[in-house]
Amino acid sequence: MTIQRFLKFYALLLLISGCGEPRTDLLPVNLRCDFRQNPLGIDDVSPRLTWILQGEGRSRRQIAYQIQVASTQAQLDKDVIDLWDSGKIFTDESANIRYAGASLGSGVMCFWKVRIWDESDQVSEWSKVNHWSVGLLQETDWVAQWIGFDEAWNDRGIEVKPWANQIEKAKQYKPLPSPHLRKEFEVVHEVKSAKVYVTALGVFELYINGQRVGDDYFTPGWTDYGKRVDYNTYEVSALLKKGKNVIAAILADGWYAGNMADRGQYWYGEKLRLKAQMIMEDEAGNRDTIRTDDTWKASYGPIREADLQGGETYDARLEMNGWNQVDYDDKSWSGVEISDSFSVKLGGYPGVPIRKTEEIKPKHIFEISSGKYIVDMGQNFAGWAKIQVNGNPGDSIVMRFAEKLNSDSTLHTRNLRSARCTDTYILKGGGPETWEPRFTYHGYQFIEVSGFPEKLTSENITGIVVHSDLPRTGWFECSDALINRIYSNQLWSQRSNYFDVPTDCPQRDERMGWTGDAQIFMKTAAYNMDVSAFYNKWLVDVVDGQRNGMFPSTAPRVYNRIAAGWGDAGVICPWTFFQAYNDSSILREYYPSMKLWMDYLESKSVNHLSGIGSYGDWQNVKSETPIELITTAYYKHVSDLMAKIATVLDYKPDAQHYNSLSMKIKDAFIQKFVDVATDNTQTADLLALSFDLLPDTLIDSYRARLRNDIWNHDTTLTTGIHGTKFLMPVLGEYDLGLAYQLLNNTKFPSWGHHIENGATTIWERWDSYSDTSGFHKDSTNSLNHYAYGSVGEWFYSTIAGIESDGSGYKHIIIRPQPGGGLTWANAAYNSIRGPIKSSWRIDEGKYHLNISIPANTDATVYIPTSNANSVVESGRLIIDSPDISVISEESGRIVLKVGSGDYSFQSDL
């Protein structure tokens, strides 16, 4: 054997043994498809695939990737790649890589893995296998029928015509029991795989053989039922058995037929319906389908009322033991109604389900009268209460929910308006009973419990926290307890209000997806939690609500009023999404709708001044900013964003048009509103400074005027939700001390004033409540309203100093700005590229900064010192470090460039 043949043979042996190619320890992890892990039933046939990289050392990066997709995991494991093999793709991109393989049809399963090549061109091991499945893409894929049970409706004795006067509807509200539906069926062969696709007009809970399917609540979520209804997909093979089986469901009003905002019942429709089909496949590839049709049976059970706002009433004496299991005697049950006349687009649910996320035990329980207790959970939140009780048949326990108490320790319910917020449980007796509702929720801290048959203790009652189960991505803490409480309050308000859509409040008869609040808070929200899938779903609702170019003020659309700062969310939110998650396809998908909005704004403008209305600077403090100023400022802002979006999408003529439009709006704004000699509101100045509406020569004058106005108001703010959004970022640019002073303030109006008066969430009004003045006289007074919580983004971006340059954190900016007497701050953010950390402290005149930069990214780091020679990293002068580059030495700070990895800096202040 020649030496050449020997070397070839040896190389082949190495390759076969797995040692033929050097391996890197840089591994792709946390694989996601369309922003979720292992989603089922998606509509996207070219979904976005994302991963992050994990490995030791510094300046680690990806130079190439390879994705493989197969229709079974067994094929993928054996390298039988029947759907897509990307080959080695030279790019450092790891987010939102579009699937580009074989065409995918309805129901197809896709198993995928990825490997990467690192900065030394060494290949990684393959990632763990993840999967997704395609939903039912064509209308003809659905063979199920809409079924329901209307006996109680027919007997209710009240005739209410759809779209009747809403006040009359609210007066005529009468609870209806929840339909229970079931069907037995036979499984002949062992089931290899089974998926059930299920939706409802209303909300549903699904069972197979007595086992609840999934752990989500309020499915299929809230949509504009005139435009679309989402469906959920579940893998259920583990719940099936050979022989007899049963599939069953409970329906409740939800958003479809229940009390909707302040519109009463039946805003979308009247009678509840279920549509479901289960496709089973055995080892031989044979398929069988179970569907909703006229073979199902129906009855009513213990749930006598289930309304989102009204509450849930459950009579345990009416329980039907075994109703959702095989061999239950359903001879007395009725047939179902068929409603195939309802035709609307069905789509795979793209969001994040609502789930139970936490349990809270009471902080305090006390008796206010004989047999009537007040339970203080110690925290305002959204959810319900679980009770454990032992009593007699027919004992009735009534729970009423509220956010705060009156001075006489009774529940304060005026701010609930028409929302009854009452749950009732009627005991069956015979031993300990545990109950919790599942088709209602409340925003509350306090519960009034009456009718409890024994002394109520903390062992008997538990608060259940419920909201869209978004992964937590942000953490923050610092040396100031007040700032930490503000941070906690805004986080709790997000948890309470991200409830399938970004609602304004969880307690009263509103709970709508106000677009203005959502756009104001979105950047903070994206720091706190992974909101990618959540907004991916809600942006569909926004576009569904568009009429004649006009984006709605609420999504799903309930109110018809069009307002600047609210409708503009149709442009602002996709751009904010792009900045956080680097997904240009969101911009491309919604660009036509954005253009329609801009066309509408242009058609309503006069001499480039906006001509549409607005709700103004909502909840300002006696400082009304002119509506036309606000609307024109936002007109300029969205024109600038459209120019940026058109540039990203390479729509050059559009970019030129919107840049030109922006300049014309600015000129008109200056001519109409800019006058340093005239008094102005804080919000007016903030919008002018934030949206580039001033000539350069007047920027300093406006900054000085804003500063003076804050001082003249006893160093407090007067801003509503729009001004507050920009207050801290603007002040942080030129008067950091004043920004910290406002943040640390406890005088009215301030975040600290809320906390001094018992707030555990963000309030709707600066003067919602005080111990001295009591409650605001207006019943529109939510104590859990996240808009003022937009200050949360400043905690991450300025106090901790974690920002992106707009590239979805491909390039990171670390720029902490200590102040306000803080001695330390810690923050972490799990970006779409991986975890980022920033931790600083000041100790005996020394500044210490520890950071962590994820693989496949780099960062610009700002060190607040005038002495470059004092800056060391891990004990070494930065000028001697091969991993650090000095970009510039500015006044009072050193600017550095670093790659990925962990760094520990120290410098003189």
- Catalytic positions are 510, 764
Q: 3-state class of 19 per DSSP?
A: coil
Nearest to 507 by CA among 799, 764, 212: 764
The strand pairing partners of 904, in sequence order, are: 850
| DSSP conformational letter for 23 | B
Q: Give the DSSP letter of residue 798.
A: I
CA dist., res. 442 & res. 424, Å (int): 14
Which among 717, 764, 751 is positioned nearest to 623, based on CA atoms?
Answer: 717
Residues in the chain: 909
Number of H helices, E strands in the chain: 18, 47
Q: What type of residue sits at position 464?
A: I
450's CB contacts (< 8 A; 6+ apart) are 371, 372, 373, 397, 398
Cα–Cα distance, 319 to 23 (Å, whole number) = 61
Q: What is the H or E stretch that residue 488 is in?
A: helix 481-497
Q: Which two tokens stand for residue 678?
A: 């005239």
CB contact at 8 A, 609 and 668: yes
CA 110/CA 134 separation, integer angstroms:
8
Cα 207 to Cα 235, 379, 561, 644: the distances in Å are 13, 33, 41, 49
Q: What is the DSSP letter of 583?
A: -
The answer to whether 132 and 187 are in contact (CB under 8 A) is no
Closest by alpha carbon to 718, among 735, 742, 696? 742
Q: How far apart are the first and last CA of the chain?
A: 71
C-alpha to C-alpha distance for 700 and 704, rounded to whole angstroms = 6
In three-state secondary structure terms, 867 is coil
Give the C-alpha separation, 506 to 309, whole Å: 9
Among the listed residues 543, 535, 541, 532, the one whose alpha carbon sits nearest the alpha carbon of residue 582:
532
If DSSP codes are grouped into helix, strand and coil, which group holds residue 749?
A: coil
| Residues 557, 559, 564: CA angle, nearest 5 degrees | 90
Q: Dihedral angle at the C-alpha atoms of 743, 745, 750, 753, nearest 10 degrees?
A: 130
- One-letter amino acid at 118 equals D
Count CB neighbours of 624 within 10 A: 13
Exposure on the CB side of residue 280, measured as CA atoms within 13 A: 20
Sign of CA dihedral 398, 217, 183, 269: positive
- Dist CA 678 CA 887 (whole Å): 43
Token code pair at residue 440: 């209602």
What is the separation of C-alpha 885 from the centre of its chain, rounded to a whole number of angstroms? 38
Which one-letter amino acid corresponds to residue 872?
A: V
Phi, psi of 882, deg, nearest 5: -75, -15
Say how far apart CA 544 and CA 62 lie, in whole Å. Answer: 39
704: which DSSP letter?
A: H
CA distance 442 to 451: 20
Please spell the DSSP secondary structure of 741-777, one letter per residue: HHHT--SSSSHHHHHHTT-SS--SSTTSEETTTEE-S
Helix (H, G, I), strand (E, B) or coil at 508: coil
Q: Can you read off the two tokens belonging to residue 133?
A: 């499945």
